[in-house]
């Protein structure tokens, strides 16, 4: 059992959101339990690492649960910050949000995402206002194709506005879930 790796799923204790998947050997599992912060074994680097050791975004253990046959681990934890290396709350992030973060990071010449984000929140707030009006008009007076196109513009610009304020889409999900109660 010693050199066997267990899949370890980390779940946010407060929201239930799956944050990431990593691998644990015996040492990583035992350190996770004894230190109260999540440790993994990196298969690519073949070494132990502590989540947050470079980013500062540690995962604080609430509960460690082994599955029925002991080859997988569920860790319920609270996160100090974004869990994914790309800046998302979770490694399992919607495609469009991941694209926006990638384009921002690459900051390539001619990238609409990068240039819009660098123009700032006021610019994006105005764009969201315009796109919202265009979407509303299209919903009443235009074809499905036009309506979808305007709604896509609105959705995309709203995500960029969130990004420019440093808000993650998971914050919106959490707010909606709170209201459901
Ligand atoms: Zn990730």
- d(CA 35, CA 148) in angstroms, rounded, equals 50
Is this prediction's pTM over 0.85? no
pLDDT tens-place string over residues 41-54:
999 999 999 999 99
Ion ligand 1 — residues with CB < 5 Å = 84, 91
Q: How far is the CA of 162 from the centre of ligand 1 (A)?
A: 19
* d(CA 163, ligand 1 centre) in Å: 17
* Rounded distance from Cα 129 to ligand 1 centre (Å): 32
What digits encode the pLDDT tens for the residues 11-35? 999 999 999 999 999 999 999 999 9
Nearest-CA neighbor of 49 among 61, 37, 58, 41? 41
Chain segment 57-73, per-residue pLDDT in tens: 999 999 999 999 999 99
DSSP line for 68-133: TTSSEEEEEEEESS--STTS-SSSS--HHHHHHHHHHHH--TT-HHHHHHHH-HHHHHHHHHHHHH
- Residue 147's DSSP bridge partners are none
Tell me the CATH class for 95-180.
mainly alpha
Q: 31 to each of 10, 22, 37, 42, 92, how far by Cα in Å? A: 15, 14, 8, 14, 25
Closest CA relative to residue 171, chosen from 74, 63, 90, 62: 90
Residue ranges per structural domain of the chain: 6-79, 95-180
Q: Do the beta carbons of residue 60 and residue 39 sit within 8 Å?
A: no
Which of 3.10.20.810, 3.40.50.10440, 3.30.70.3450, 3.40.1390.10 is the CATH number of 6-79? 3.10.20.810
Q: Give the tokens for residue 49.
A: 């690492």
């Amino acid at each position: 059992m010693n050199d066997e790796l267990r899949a370890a799923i980390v779940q946010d204790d407060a929201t239930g959101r799956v944050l990431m998947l990593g691998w644990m050997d015996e040492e990583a599992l035992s350190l996770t339990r004894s230190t109260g912060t999540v440790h993994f074994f990196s298969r690519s680097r073949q070494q132990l690492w502590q989540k947050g050791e470079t980013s500062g975004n540690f995962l604080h253990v609430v509960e460690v649960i082994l599955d029925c046959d002991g080859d997988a681990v569920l860790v319920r934890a609270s996160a100090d910050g974004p869990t994914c290396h790309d800046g998302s709350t979770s490694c399992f992030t919607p495609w469009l949000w991941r694209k926006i973060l990638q384009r921002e990071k690459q900051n390539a010449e001619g990238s609409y995402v990068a240039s819009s984000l660098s123009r700032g929140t006021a610019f994006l707030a105005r764009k969201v206002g315009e796109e919202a009006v265009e979407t509303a008009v299209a919903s009443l007076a235009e074809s499905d194709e036009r309506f979808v196109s305007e709604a896509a513009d609105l959705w995309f610009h709203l995500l960029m506005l969130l990004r420019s304020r440093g808000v993650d889409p998971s914050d919106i999900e959490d707010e909606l879930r709170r209201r459901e109660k």
